[in-house]
């Protein structure tokens, strides 16, 4: 199925799906800063079927977020398909992404996410269920890891199985589930799969600079790059990378004050959205985002100890003005 983000030889930059991070406010900020394609936080297929109205909050988006994919996890192909059908009929996203890579225990414990890499016939049935349900309406994609652990690397076989089932695009995070987010992403494996696959392969893992984006584009067969943790710390990475790819020069580095302005803006937008409740609950939610944004700030250790106790916008603004 047509994926317009690849039209005219484009090399798209994707915002990775991250639970508790890629909510509508953060997606808006990243789109503003140059992300080409964004993906929602994952949502459970079983949750969608049991209580759609409560779980649709994880899937809601604004038109400015397009193109956008909604990521779904689960281990029952039929239920995954039924959940995907509800989402597509209600919201009309640009694609459905199957989560075959999340390492979090609460997902793995339900046989979803990266646990599917231990049971490739089950992974195939999940992909088949979603494609049969909505594959004629939207592209169905998948995000995987290289395997469960170092003794069970299965990336080439996983890509072949997913492609045979009709998956339109595969994102590979170059780590095993056992690695979580430690060690280095295996870009040699990502490139190997990209050269062999008949569908576009998107690379993910350790991309934290414009130079790395350029290096991967010039030296590998991936058709795009997905950025996750680096965007949590520096959403400008999308515009920085695009400028570097186009002009071969760096944009001026953002100052600490620029970053504080973004922190305050992000917090204010989250509060105005009402998504997390009152001011106290919104600030509690935002604390992890504050810590990510301020990584590398002067006196970061002491600053983080203050940020994790922020309760109001006024406190945040006062802190920003005092450092």
Kindly list the catalytic residues.
102
206: left (phi over 0), alpha (psi -120 to 50) or beta: left
Please give the sequence-ordered ranges of beta strands (E in DSSP) within 181-243, or none if there are none: 201-204, 224-227
Kindly state the helix (H) or strand (E) to which residue 72 belongs, with its residue range.
strand 68-73
Give the C-alpha separation, 204 to 15, whole Å.
10
**268: helix, coil or strand?**
helix
First to last CA, the chain: 51
Give the C-alpha separation, 224 to 213, whole Å.
9
Give the C-alpha separation, 247 to 241, whole Å.
10
């Amino acid at each position: 199925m047509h994926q317009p983000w690849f039209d005219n030889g484009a090399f798209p930059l994707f915002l990775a799906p991250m639970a508790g991070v890629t909510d509508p406010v953060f997606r808006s900020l990243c789109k503003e800063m140059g992300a080409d394609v964004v993906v929602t936080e994952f949502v459970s297929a079983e949750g969608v079927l049991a209580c759609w109205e409560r779980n649709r909050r994880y899937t809601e988006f604004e038109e400015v977020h397009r193109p956008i994919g909604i990521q779904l996890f689960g281990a029952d192909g039929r239920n995954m398909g039924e959940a995907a059908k509800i989402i597509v009929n209600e919201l009309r996203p640009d694609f459905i992404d199957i989560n075959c890579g999340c390492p979090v225990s609460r997902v793995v414990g339900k046989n979803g996410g990266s646990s599917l890499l231990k049971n490739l016939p089950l992974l195939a049935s999940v992909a088949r269920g979603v494609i049969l349900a909505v594959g004629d309406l939207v592209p169905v994609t998948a995000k995987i890891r290289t395997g469960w652990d170092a003794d069970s690397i299965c990336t080439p076989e996983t890509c072949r199985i997913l492609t045979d089932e009709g998956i339109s695009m595969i994102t590979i995070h170059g780590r095993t589930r056992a690695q979580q987010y430690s060690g280095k992403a295996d870009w040699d494996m990502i490139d190997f799969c990209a050269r062999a696959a008949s569908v576009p392969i998107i690379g993910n893992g350790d991309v934290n600079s414009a130079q790395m984006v350029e290096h991967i584009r010039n030296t590998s067969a991936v058709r795009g790059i997905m950025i996750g943790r680096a965007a949590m710390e520096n959403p400008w990475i999308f515009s920085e990378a695009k400028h570097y790819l186009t002009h071969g020069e760096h944009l001026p580095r953002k100052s600490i004050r620029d970053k504080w302005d973004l922190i305050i803006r992000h917090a204010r937008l989250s509060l105005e959205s009402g998504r997390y409740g009152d001011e106290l609950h919104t600030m509690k939610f935002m604390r992890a985002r504050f810590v990510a944004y301020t990584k590398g700030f002067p006196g970061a250790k002491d600053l983080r100890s203050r940020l994790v106790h922020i309760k109001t916008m006024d406190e945040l603004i006062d802190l920003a003005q005092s450092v």
